[in-house]
Amino acid sequence: MGSLGNIWVTRKIPQKAIDMLREVADVEVWEEELPPPREVVLEKIARLDGILPLLTDKMDAVAMDRAPRLRVIANYAVGYDNVDVPAATQRGILVTNTPGVLTETTADLAFALLMAAARHVVAGDKYTRAGLWKTWGPLLFLGQDIHHANLGLVGLGRIGSEMAKRARGFDMRVRYYDPIRNEAAEEQLGIEYASLETVLRESDFVSLHTPLTAETRHLISERELKMMKPTAILINSSRGPVVDQKALYEALKSGTIYAAGLDVFDVEPIPEEDPLLTLDHVVAVPHIASASYATRTRMATLAAENLIAALKGEQPPTPVNPDVLGSPRRRR
């Protein structure tokens, strides 16, 4: 007990991972429903050797400078835009994430949003429950076809590729844009490479699968939305700020595009009074793309494995900045 030092897990995560950590270190878990306030993070971090934060916890240089002992930030997410990775690298702190284990589960939800937005599944449910359904209606809740439609993927990483596989079952034509062309994936998945503009202009569905970086912030803004078809549906399960949310509201409101399926928002939680939530053609869910029982457990155990390996001075399974392994703080 306690041999690997002090670890803080910033929220309740599946117990299996907590048990793994407790076997080798002193573990404290933040048991509240809401994230720890910033002051609490800044206070706790001072005595930590390892932290297992969520995407809601900002791990920046200020926090790191309060943490003379900290050797690893084991993020419980594949995305790590909440972590200042260059600042961590500079300080010899290893950063890890949870890629791979959530890929298919995330693509499942993105496809569910695509289908729900196209066929008004959520609005139809509300209508039925509200007692508004009077008769079978030839024009009731008409939507867009999914089968044989054009799907445009922005970003062809693991999750984008899984989207392409799902689309194949619906006989969709898939185009993708990514700064890096992947001809092997094109062959394997039966998809076509195109410019971002072509993807936006030709697609019936545009699904976003990029990380949030300086380059992808507001990648989809007014200009890009205007390139899309008036019947097009935007799906975002990546990060909210990849889309200019005000421009998206305007585009939906004015009929520039048809609908949107959103798992992520520029501010999370999205405020109840956000105008986006007044639109029937928006399906909005609370950042749950990886939220299956099995996947959240696999993310937790992977984060724990990363953290334990890092504290043992070993190569963790999925490091973000592996170069840190040979740096001064690591060797200490």
Q: Give residues in contact with ligand GLV (CB under 6 A).
A: 55, 77-79, 99, 102-103, 157-160, 209, 290
The structure tokens listed for 105 are: 């589960």
Q: Which is nearer to ligand GLV, 157 or 316 (CB)?
A: 157
Residue 106 CB contacts under 8 Å (≥ 6 apart), including other chains: 78, 159, 162, 237, 289, 290
Q: Which is nearer to ligand GLV, 4 or 77 (CB)?
A: 77
Smallest distance, ligand GLV to C-beta of residue 34, A: 18
Q: Which is nearer to ligand GLV, 6 or 318 (CB)?
A: 318
Smallest distance, ligand GLV to C-beta of residue 124, A: 27
Q: Which is nearer to ligand GLV, 49 or 305 (CB)?
A: 305
Tell me how far apart the alpha carbons of residues 328 and 312 are, in angstroms, rounded to a whole number.
Answer: 15
Smallest distance, ligand GLV to C-beta of residue 283, A: 17
Catalytic residue among 268, 281, 329, 330: 268
The structure tokens listed for 178 are: 């990514």
Smallest distance, ligand GLV to C-beta of residue 78, A: 4
Residue 207 burial (10 A CB sphere; 0-12, 13-18, 19+): buried
Q: Which is nearer to ligand GLV, 4 or 196 (CB)?
A: 196
Alpha carbon distances (Å) from 68 to 64, 65, 201, 312: 8, 7, 51, 17
Q: Which amino acid is at 249?
A: Y
Is residue 287 annotated as part of the catalytic site, yes or no?
A: yes
Smallest distance, ligand GLV to C-beta of residue 209, A: 5
Catalytic residue among 120, 287, 296, 298: 287
Smallest distance, ligand GLV to C-beta of residue 332, A: 30
Tell me how far apart the alpha carbons of residues 159 and 100 are, in angstroms, rounded to a whole number.
Answer: 9
Smallest distance, ligand GLV to C-beta of residue 211, A: 7
Q: Which is nearer to ligand GLV, 103 or 203 (CB)?
A: 103
Tell me the residue nearest to ligand GLV as measured from the CB.
157
Tell me how far apart the alpha carbons of residues 257 and 150 are, in angstroms, rounded to a whole number.
Answer: 15
Is residue 281 annotated as part of the catalytic site, yes or no?
A: no
CB-based contact 306:318 (threshold 8 Å):
yes
Q: Which is nearer to ligand GLV, 79 or 241 (CB)?
A: 79
Tell me how far apart the alpha carbons of residues 320 and 80 are, in angstroms, rounded to a whole number.
Answer: 9
Active site residues: 239, 268, 287
